[in-house]
Amino acid sequence: MVEEHIKHTFDLNAVRQDFPLLARKMNGKPLVFLDSAASSQKPSVVIDAIAQYYKYEHANVHRGVYAISAAATDAFEASREAAKDFLNAGSAREVIFTKGTTEGINLVAAGFERAMLKQGDEVLISVMEHHSNIVPWQIACEQTGATLKAIPINDDGDLILDDLDHLINDRTRIVAIVHISNTLGTINPVKEIISKAHEKGVPVLLDGAQAAPHMKIDVQALDVDFYACSGHKMYGPTGIGLLYGKEAWLNKLPPYQGGGEMIKEVTLEKTVFNELPFKFEAGTPNIAGVIGLHKAIDYITALPWDEVHAHEQALLDHATELLGQIDGIQYIGKAKNKASVLSFVVDGVHPHDLGTLLDQQGIAVRTGHHCTEPLMRRFGIPGTVRASFSFYNTHEEVEKLYNATSKAVKMLL
């Protein structure tokens, strides 16, 4: 029953061999890694590229006239071009390298705080947002006197959009919404939300941290104004991310940080800022991370995405069916359109206790509130157990999750 679900050319065994950590053991058991929503594993090509850079190619970028620096700059900017293609941005000027989704959202929120928001204005998010798409906007609203509002959700974990025409009004300055919920797996109807917002002249930021690893992103087709995602969730290094912004909007925002690279000219009286994208990239960047991200983008874009999506969906369906047989289990997030995230609670069992027993059986899952405390309050729970699947997971691992969970629940009740 291990891989009979998959009848296509996607070579799962070959893919798994690309990820060294998947071969290790945890607590004496073969590792079953089901926490890719927190951070995905890295293929050898990414790890090797980072090591190669630090061993033989390290130099700062954009500053040196010597050969190694020029080569590092070329590699750095080649990664930006790859990111542009990955997101289908209109220009490489619209692609900003950040530390990750969190910094990308903070960059936009800080820019709106300084240049766009005033008392009486409104920012619209949703109840299912990650803290990274709540806290920066709270700070911006507190500093300016603006008001933070949220789109509610129903019991299945879908956004309730009935009042969207009223929630987006002449006081709304930006809508910031998660593309795919990290806790629920809900794939939000972002194109509809963007269209509604644009009808009223309101820009939209999408938190794409969970979407970028699981679907093709086309910022031009979405017509989104800002899109943020993280390298470490899309099989690349930690500490590197992407912020896409429409050029017109990026030109309106003030710089996020000051320092080297983001300037054209500095006198003691005045600074002339650099052109895009360098206006938002102060200081020495994460060069190794950018180079590693390029390899990650190359790796995932070479995959047969229709087959990858079908495989991940089959894993989710299989897990949902199997774990549903466990007495007392409740799924948190039952949207019809969802990605490969399965959050659940078991009556009478604390998620941390269950996660600890799964760990002892070699199963790595995430437990807690998943940086979505307002969402947990909406469902009246302290947290969930979350199993998140990637294309490198197997149906055998789904069955191990089921067996280990069944065993753990019996021990705890």
Q: Which residues are catalytic?
A: 371
Per-residue b/e over 173-206, b at no fewer than 16 CB within 10 Å?
A: bbbbbbbbbbbbbbbbebeebbebbbeeebbbbb
3 state DSSP class of 188 = coil
C-alpha closest to that of 391 among 206, 215, 185: 215
Q: Which two tokens stand for residue 37?
A: 């929503």
- Reported in sequence order, the residue ranges of 75-164 that DSSP labels E, i.e. its strands, are 95-98, 122-126, 147-151
Cβ contact 331:342 at 8 Å: yes
Q: Which two tokens stand for residue 140?
A: 């911006």
C-alpha closest to that of 148 among 123, 117, 119: 123
- Reported in sequence order, the residue ranges of 43-91 that DSSP labels E, i.e. its strands, are none
Dihedral angle at the C-alpha atoms of 154, 160, 163, 169, nearest 10 degrees?
Answer: 120
* Angle (CA) 248 189 380, round 5°: 115
H or E element in which residue 412 lies: helix 395-412
